[in-house]
Amino acid sequence: MLVPALTSLDPSTTTLAPDGNPCSADETICNAVYDLTGHERLADYSGVLIGTPLALAGLLLMAFVLRWVAHKAIDRVAGRAAKGVLPDRVNLLVTERRRQRAEAIASLFKSIVTGLITMVFGTMMLSEIGVDIAPIIASAGIVGLALGFGAQSLVKDFLSGVFMIIEDQFGVGDQVDLGEAIGTVEAVTLRITRVRDVNGTVWYVPNGQIVRVGNQSQNWARTVLDVKVSYDEDLARVRRVLGEVAHDLWEDDDFKGQVIEEPSVWGVQDLAIDGVTVRVVLKTTPGEQWAVAREMRQRIKARFDHEGIEMPFPQRMVWNRHEQAPAPADGTGSA
């Protein structure tokens, strides 16, 4: 009964060669070691001693090369993004900001690429040494679901932080209005934004809770001054004086880097009960609009005093009415 079973074996399915080689036909390293040494045990363990380390080294080398190529590509794209398109006065002032933003975005994408490559090639290396990666993949899926359902606010904060950095909504040093938090940005991370207001209070705002951003320090700013004068003043003269004051500030060497365009007097803005409001505007570099406004107010006050232009002051009209005493009931009048 055993002879037919033995004779029915297909020689191509057995792992042993006719000469006692323990290697199968597709085991190149095992066959090479057996041909060189003729030692069956050494050839049998050659896959573990030589094949697995070589495979791990190849995967590790491939991971490093892929990471290097990806980082070089990201650096090249970030370098192009850091260069200005128009070499005008405003772009020269925001060159450093553009460079910092490009570096932040490049660092973010480098971290993502490194994490993905590490996870993929780490799983492949574990599979190469015989570890069952099916539970690892299943666990990763479960962890992803847990993060999706249990840490929605955290994921929302991170995603909002990524888009805020990519879109350059604001950066460190910007004057922003985030709703309740209004002040200077001190730090921006993927999860929170730290803002210090004018009173020195530090606000920590989760990025996922920022629904709108008012940035007062991006590209350029504008100083808007509403100056009130009396109704008795000549408005043409007032506009001329305001234009001269603003033009002198524009040509002042101390403000050459702050006022970036010729100032303009827009004219009468409002007719109030106590005076006429005339508006003058100056285009400034980001963050300098308040200093320019303070200097303009001081110069306008001094020039108005010199020109004799009167600023309005609160006025009240008082009616003094004298009413006669009522006549006596008996009809008799006073003697």
pLDDT bracket for residue 87 (50, 70, 90): very low
pLDDT of 84 reads 52
Two tokens at 12?
């191509």
Q: Is pLDDT at 328 greater than 90 in this prediction?
A: no
pLDDT of 281 reads 94
**All residues at 6 or more sequence positions from 79 whose CB lies less than 8 Å from its CB, including other chains:** 102
315, 266 contact by CB (below 8 A):
no
Q: Tell me the one-letter amino acid at 250.
A: W
Q: Is pLDDT at 20 greater than 80 in this prediction?
A: no
Query: Looking at per-residue confidence, does 167 or 145 come out higher?
Result: 167
Total domains present in the chain? 3
List the single range of 21-30, 158-167, 238-247, 314-323 with lowest mean pLDDT. 21-30
Cα 98 to Cα 91, 105, 131, 312, distances in angstroms: 9, 11, 47, 46
- Three-state DSSP state, 13: helix
CATH code assigned at 134? 1.10.287
Query: Average pLDDT for residues 23-31, to the nearest whole number?
Result: 58
pLDDT of 18 reads 46
- 61 and 145 share one domain: yes
Residue 280, domain extent: 221-307
**All residues at 6 or more sequence positions from 183 whose CB lies less than 8 Å from its CB, including other chains:** 175, 176, 195, 196, 197, 198, 201, 203
- 200 and 236 share one domain: no
Helices and strands (H, E) in the chain, number of each type: 10, 8
pLDDT of 226 reads 93
Q: How far apart are CA 151 and CA 158, in angstroms?
A: 11
Q: DSSP string covering 267-281, please?
A: EEEEE-SS-EEEEEE
- 189 and 261 share one domain: no
- 262 and 209 share one domain: no
- 26 and 133 share one domain: yes
- 294 and 192 share one domain: no
pLDDT bracket for residue 190 (50, 70, 90): confident
Query: Average pLDDT for residues 113-126, to the nearest whole number?
Result: 88
- 31 and 137 share one domain: yes
Q: Indicate left, alpha or beta for 308 from its phi (over 0: left) and psi (-120 to 50: alpha).
A: left
pLDDT of 304 reads 93
- 267 and 287 share one domain: yes
pLDDT of 244 reads 93
Reference 229, options 190, 172, 277; nearest CA is: 277
pLDDT bracket for residue 229 (50, 70, 90): very high
pLDDT bracket for residue 31 (50, 70, 90): low
| pLDDT tens track for 250-284 | 998 888 888 888 899 999 999 988 889 999 999 98
Q: What is the DSSP letter of 185?
A: E
Residue with tokens 């408005």: 235
CATH code assigned at 259? 3.30.70.100
- 278 and 179 share one domain: no
Q: DSSP string covering 83-134, please?
A: S-SS-SHHHHHTHHHHHHHHHHHHHHHHHHHHHHHHHHHHHHHHHHTT---H
Q: Tell me the one-letter amino acid at 22.
A: P
278, 265 contact by CB (below 8 A):
yes
- Mean of all residue pLDDT scores within the chain: 78
- 46 and 139 share one domain: yes
pLDDT bracket for residue 58 (50, 70, 90): confident
pLDDT of 69 reads 94
pTM above 0.75, yes or no: no
281, 263 contact by CB (below 8 A):
yes
- 193 and 75 share one domain: no
